[in-house]
């Protein structure tokens, strides 16, 4: 332990800045703990704090895809054919480029999983001490993707069933969709006009999220979302043969409305699609026999008080957010 005599032996010009840094550090830790408990502390220690900064629609700190979207160029070119490749038996991967006027603005990082070959788990860890790689190591999963929304303490903000145990709010109004793994198989469920409690009853794993990007009627329900809310996105889809498709965008070109408009014409054969959390927590990691993927998002813009803002780290570069809630796929 450093004694006061030791500090007194140092020049004041050195001691004063050190004490200031220490005071600021302790203050940041105290604020993080007060705002988010253990989750807030671990987020601060893992990747530092973030803040919203004002930006212009043509700001150089924004990607080309974001700038085009903010300029109203929200309809991509015709989708390129999806070229699936096997990563492991029962798990295929692809990357579909997204172009506007021939310019590459984004890409869908896709994984297609056969539920007969993989079992799914929905997991929550409020401590906030696991990134996407730590989740994969802890669960033996072949795929990890961020889950639905969580609160500032790392707890689920939507109803969740994890290994048969109910988590999240008991009282909740759900009008969009859910991922459900139960006696009737693994599937997405459109909750329009349906009680979410009945939909997840008896499930081993389940997760309510929003908005529905493709509903049972073939249409999305993201019309009320601000088109200037752009972010890296993650979503779940179910194709016509029952496969679960996991998607994460490489950039932040898509608003929720434009993503809902794009997916039905992306050539994925999706019957249903459900949005997950987005922004820097939009992460997807794949570990297959012949393929590896390790990706986390970078961008999120939003309008606060009429001002366009970008979420940025206060110091340095992002090192990947802790993921409080994840969906993992484990080989059977």
Question: Listing from the earlier edge strand, what are the strands of the sheet with 283-287?
Answer: 118-124, 325-331, 143-146, 283-287, 292-296
pLDDT in tens, the chain (332 residues): 444 454 456 566 655 565 564 555 555 444 544 554 556 555 555 555 788 999 999 999 999 999 999 999 999 999 999 999 999 999 999 999 999 999 999 999 999 999 999 999 999 999 989 999 999 999 999 999 999 999 989 999 999 999 999 999 999 999 999 999 999 999 999 999 999 999 999 999 999 999 999 999 999 999 988 999 999 999 999 999 999 999 999 999 999 999 999 999 999 999 999 999 999 999 999 999 999 999 999 999 999 999 999 999 876 565 567 899 999 999 99
Place of tokens 């996105």: 233
* CA nearest to 42, candidates 291, 283, 324, 269: 324
Burial label for 252, CB within 10 Å (0-12, 13-18, 19+), is buried
């Amino acid at each position: 332990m450093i004694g006061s005599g030791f500090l007194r032996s140092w020049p004041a010009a050195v001691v004063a800045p050190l004490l200031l840094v220490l005071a600021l550090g302790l203050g940041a830790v105290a604020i993080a703990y007060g705002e988010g408990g253990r989750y807030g502390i671990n987020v601060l220690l893992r990747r530092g704090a973030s803040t919203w900064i004002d930006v212009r629609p043509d700001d150089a700190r924004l990607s080309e895809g974001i700038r085009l979207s903010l300029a109203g160029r929200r309809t991509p070119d015709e989708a390129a054919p999806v070229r699936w490749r096997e990563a492991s038996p029962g798990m295929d991967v692809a990357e579909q480029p997204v172009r506007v006027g021939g310019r590459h603005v984004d890409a869908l990082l896709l994984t297609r999983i056969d539920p007969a070959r993989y079992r799914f788990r929905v997991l929550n860890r409020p401590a906030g001490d696991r990134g996407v790689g730590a989740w994969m190591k802890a669960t033996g999963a072949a795929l990890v993707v961020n889950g639905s929304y969580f609160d500032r303490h790392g707890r689920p903000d939507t109803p969740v069933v994890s290994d048969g145990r109910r988590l999240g709010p008991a009282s909740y109004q759900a009008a969009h969709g859910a991922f459900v793994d139960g006696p009737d198989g693994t599937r997405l469920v459109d909750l329009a006009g349906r009680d979410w409690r009945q939909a997840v009853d008896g499930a081993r794993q389940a997760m309510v999220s929003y908005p529905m990007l493709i509903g049972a009627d073939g249409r999305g329900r993201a019309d009320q979302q601000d088109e200037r809310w752009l972010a890296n996105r993650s979503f779940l889809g179910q194709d016509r043969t029952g496969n679960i498709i996991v998607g994460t965008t490489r950039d932040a070109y898509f608003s929720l409305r434009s993503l809902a408009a794009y997916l039905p014409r992306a050539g994925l054969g999706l019957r249903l699609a459900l949005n997950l959390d987005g922004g820097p927590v939009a992460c997807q990691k794949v570990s297959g026999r012949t393929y590896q993927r390790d990706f986390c998002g970078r961008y999120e813009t939003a309008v606060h008080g009429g001002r366009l803002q970008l979420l940025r780290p206060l110091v340095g570069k992002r090192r990947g957010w802790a993921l409080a809630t994840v969906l993992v796929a484990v080989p059977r």
